[in-house]
């Protein structure tokens, strides 16, 4: 699918990136749009080189899921693109970064294709069940 990327500045002074895929155009604040190299550099600096340790924040329910939470390699392909709730029952929700409300981030691949993603979790973030266990242990 042909993807076209343009930028503009909103009336509020926010730089916006407009991603057109086919008949659909998605506008995202440019701060959330990175190249693949920039994305990898950020993920590596925050969580190391192994995607098993990368953590993403679901923009809908606030769950933090890691590559390890997704388990098998085919599940890990959903990391950062789908809430863990699509894979693990009774956890998270069914939100997807490629859904009706795309994003909130986007990664521009070397071939020009755009992948919509969740935001990387903050440095040091662990998955929601690990957080829950740590809080229970602290009592
Ligand atoms: Zn969710």
Segment 13-32, tens digit of pLDDT: 999 999 998 888 999 999 99
Q: How far is the CA of 9 from the centre of ligand 1 (A)?
A: 30
- Which residues are found with C-beta within 5 Å of the ion, ligand 1? 58, 60-61, 63, 83, 92-93, 95
35-46 pLDDT, tens digit per residue, is 999 999 999 999
Structure confidence at residue 1 as a pLDDT band (50, 70, 90)? low
Six token digits for residue 71: 């388990």
Q: How far is the CA of 107 from the centre of ligand 1 (A)?
A: 20
Q: How far is the CA of 122 from the centre of ligand 1 (A)?
A: 16
- Name, in order, each residue with C-beta under 8 angstroms of 61's C-beta and a sequence gap of 6 or more: 83, 85, 92, 93, 95
Q: How far is the CA of 25 from the centre of ligand 1 (A)?
A: 24
CB contact burial 13-23 (16+ within 10 A = b; e otherwise) = eeebbebbbee
Q: How far is the CA of 96 from the centre of ligand 1 (A)?
A: 8
Domain boundaries, the chain: 32-138
Q: How far is the CA of 2 from the centre of ligand 1 (A)?
A: 29
| C-beta neighbour count of 59 within 10 angstroms | 15
Residue 74 confidence (pLDDT) above 90? no
Nearest to 107 by CA among 24, 28, 25, 53: 28
Residue 4 confidence (pLDDT) above 70? yes
Residue 87: per-residue pLDDT: 92
d(Cα 53, Cα 49) in Å, to the nearest integer?
A: 8
Q: How far is the CA of 84 from the centre of ligand 1 (A)?
A: 7
Q: What are phi and psi of 29, to 5 degrees?
A: -55, 135
Contact 131, 64 (CB under 8 A): yes
90-104 pLDDT, tens digit per residue, is 899 999 999 888 999
Q: How far is the CA of 70 from the centre of ligand 1 (A)?
A: 13
Q: What is the pTM of this model?
A: 0.89
Higher-pLDDT residue of 59, 137:
59
Contact 35, 43 (CB under 8 A): no
């Amino acid at each position: 699918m042909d993807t076209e990327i343009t930028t503009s500045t909103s009336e509020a002074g926010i730089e916006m990136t407009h991603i057109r895929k086919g008949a659909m155009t998605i506008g995202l604040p440019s701060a959330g749009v990175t190249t693949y190299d920039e994305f990898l550099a950020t993920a590596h600096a925050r969580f190391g080189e192994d995607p098993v340790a990368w953590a993403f924040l679901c923009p809908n329910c606030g769950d933090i899921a890691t590559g390890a939470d997704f388990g098998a390699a085919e599940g890990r392909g959903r990391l950062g693109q789908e809430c863990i709730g699509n894979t693990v029952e009774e956890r998270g929700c069914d939100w997807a970064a490629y859904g009706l409300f795309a994003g909130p981030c986007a990664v521009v691949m070397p071939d020009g294709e755009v992948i919509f993603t969740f935001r990387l979790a903050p440095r040091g973030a662990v998955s929601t069940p690990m957080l829950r266990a740590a809080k229970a242990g602290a009592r």
